[in-house]
Amino acid sequence: MADAPKPRLAVFKFASCDGCQLTLLDCEDELLPVAARLDIANFLEASKATSDGPYDLTLVEGSITTEGDARRIKEIRAQSTFLVTIGACATAGGIQALRNFADVEEFRRAVYARPDYISTLRTSTAIADHVPVDFELRGCPISKEQLLEVIGAFLGGRRPDVPTESVCVACKRRGTVCVMVAHGTPCLGPVTQTGCGAICPTFHRGCYGCFGPQDAPNTDSLTQQLRVLQMPPDAIRRVYRTFNSNAPAFRRASEAARAEAPTP
């Protein structure tokens, strides 16, 4: 009896740096077993050989920043049974979403010698703002272990077990001294989703929120604590505006801080 066909995997890129796709290649020891169970049908980062959909599992990296990309993601969605977005760009618009708070025409004139050649949207937005998404994997870049969990869950026909608690919980689990309490270092860990193992506090730095907002982030309380640490309103505004500035919870927190800040 012939073997059943393997599920077909596709990986697509939009506006992004490719780091989250590279996480799949970084799997190294686990990559061959994964490749043995999936037919890698479309993954330009790994192979120039591609084949058309439909696809059973599609991983999408990057944000939507052009009209062409807004059309392309709809075509990809139509060809995909399960669509998973990977990384801060795909789940929250990425660092390029800083344009959402500024005048993109001014950027275009300042950066490009021929701005008339550049066609772009005024905003950078998450994939889920354009099409239904079955699962969002956070991080900048994503965690290899969480990516393998998502792929394993897909192959096993179950929902991925990816924690949504805060980085603080990871700090406590590994016995890391709290940099905010012990040293007064500003830290976004209380409102940021875990997944990194609290790397930054473990190396005596505050978390800067690269995994984006956790399930129920209390940004009002954290903002109050940042004020206690003597951070000026403008600095508080900027602390929420990094890789996940357009994630709703961080956007609201930055706008609330902006209301008090002297500069736009």
If one asks whether residue 171 binds ligand SF4 (CB under 6 A), the answer comes out as: yes
Q: Which is nearer to ligand SF4, 125 or 176 (CB)?
A: 176
Q: Does 95 bind ligand SF4 (CB under 6 A)?
A: no
Please tell me whether residue 201 binds ligand SF4 under the rule CB under 6 A: yes
Q: Binding to ligand SF4 by residue 189, rule CB under 6 A?
A: yes
Contact set for ligand SF4, span 139-168 (CB under 6 A): 167-168
Q: Find residue 193's DSSP bridge partners.
A: 166
Candidate segments 47-55, 61-69, 94-102, 204-212, binder of ligand SF4 by CB under 6 A: 204-212
Residue 187 interacting with ligand SF4 (CB under 6 A): yes
Query: Residue written as tokens 């995994």?
Result: 211
By CB atoms closer than 10 A (0-12, 13-18, 19+), residue 142 is: buried
Note whether 211 binds ligand SF4 by CB under 6 A. Answer: yes
C-alpha angle with apex 160: 176 to 52, nearest 5 degrees?
125
Give the pairing type, strands 80-86 and 135-137.
parallel
Beta partners for residue 57, in sequence order: 9, 82
Pick from 150, 198, 239, 257 the residue near ligand SF4 by CB under 6 A. Answer: 198
**In this structure, is the dihedral angle defined by the CA atoms of residues 171, 216, 147 and 141, taken in order, positive or negative?**
negative
Residues interacting with ligand SF4, by CB under 6 A? 167-168, 171, 176, 178-180, 187, 189-190, 192, 196, 198-201, 207-211
